[in-house]
Amino acid sequence: MAALSSSFSDTNKTFSLGRTALVIYAGLFYAFLYVPILLLVYLSFNDSQTIGLPFKQFTLRWYSQIFNSQDMLAAIANSVVLGILSAVIATALAVLLALGFRYDLPMKGLLMKIVLMPILIPGVVGGVIYLIFFGYGEVQFGLWTTVLPVHITWVLPFAFLTLLPRMHGLDRTLEEAAADLGARPMTVFRRILFPIIKPGVIATMMFSFTLSFDEFIRTLFAMGSQRTVPVHLWSLLSNQMAPFLPAVGVVIMIISMSVSLIGFALTARSGRSVPVDDH
């Protein structure tokens, strides 16, 4: 039986010595991840003018304050619409790209490097290139003129990398048979391809949404007067340590965590793991 075991987890026995130590370590690791976050949640209910302990009294006023703040609501609306548009456009481009990658293409290696470029460029540089690019091209800085293309470019490689393994196993002969039988390209896509790749595409869009929703450094350099949520938080952080900041952090976390969780559940069902968000 042992020889038939199919998972690494079955080999626990071999390492039984360190098993308890490993569980304790994992507990510490989770504590490292979660203590700061739980502290933030706790402090978001603290009725105190300074961010910190001790906990004075329970209050919801920081939450009511941010949900009554025009700036905050505008930033949330901007980020949500931007996230949806970036996710849809980047995923569409990535689907075509991943489908194309099943063919023998000239200079495929070079193309791959171009695709990975937005990830490979260090964060700050990834921001300033857009400041000079749009600045030099005299493009009006704004949510839809500059930030949207920047987000699409940023999300595209991640969407592509998420889709590529799913597309790779996709049999090209299916579409070719349909085409030979006289189906037009759009019909082939709608009737044959899309039903197969749909779960992956939806998961990719959710993942892309959170990437866009959380993006900060590129947005900071590419934006005009309209802010996104992370930029709004940053300007609040830079100006003053306002007591409602923990609540802002919690709201941002809840939005992106819940979208990611749904995306994860969808991907888990379609049998692949999700790559993680970068920054």
Partner 1 sequence: MTRTKLRGLLLVLPATLWLLVFSVAPVALLVAMSFWTSSIFGTTADFTLDNYKVILDDPIYFKVLFQTLRIAATVTVVSLIVSYPMAFFLATRSNRTKALFLVLVFLPFWSSYVVRTFVWLPMLGRTGLVNTVLINVGLINSPLDWLIYNEGTTHIGLVYVYTLFMTLPIYLSLDKLDPSLIEASADLGAGPWRTFRRVVLPLSVPGILSGCVMVFLLACGAYVTPQLLGGTSGIMFGNVIAPQYTVTNNWALGSALSVVLVLVVLLCLIVFGRKVRLNDVFTGG
**Residues facing residue 46 across a β-bridge:** 58
Q: Which of 102, 142, 202, 224 binds partner 1 (CB under 8 A)?
A: 102
Judge residue 156's burial from the number of C-beta atoms within 10 Å of its C-beta, 0-12 exposed, 13-18 middle, 19 or more buried: buried
Tell which positions 244-263 bind partner 1, by CB under 8 A.
245-246, 249, 252-253, 256-257, 260-261
CA 165/CA 203 separation, integer angstroms: 13
In the block, tokens 């203590």 appear at 35
**Nearest alpha carbon to residue 69 among 215, 245, 212, 201:** 245
- Return the amino acid letter for 274: V
- List the one residue from 75, 203, 229, 266 that touches partner 1 (CB under 8 A): 229
Residue from the set 31, 73, 77, 121 that interacts with partner 1 by CB under 8 A: 121
Report the nearest approach of partner 1 to the CB of residue 271 (Å): 12
Cα(150)–Cα(39) distance, integer angstroms: 34
Q: For residues 25-64, which are near partner 1 according to CB under 8 A?
A: 25-26, 29-30, 32-37, 39-40, 43, 50-54
Judged by CB under 8 A, the residue of 83, 118, 200, 243 near partner 1 is 118
Per DSSP, what are the bridge partners of residue 58?
Answer: 46
CB of 64 to partner 1, least distance (A): 20
The answer to whether 77 contacts partner 1 (rule: CB under 8 A) is no
Candidates 65-73, 80-88, 127-135, 195-203; binding stretch for partner 1 (CB under 8 A)? 127-135
Q: Which residue number, 53 or 81, has a Cβ lying nearer to partner 1?
A: 53
Binders in 182-211 for partner 1, by CB under 8 A: 210
Residue nearer to partner 1 on the CB measure, 73 or 276? 276
Q: Which is nearer to partner 1, 168 or 198 (CB)?
A: 168
- What are the CA-CA distances from residue 125 to residues 119, 122, 216, 222, 227 (Å)? 11, 6, 13, 12, 20
Residue found under tokens 């293409």: 105
For the record, the structure tokens of 32 come out as 């490292």
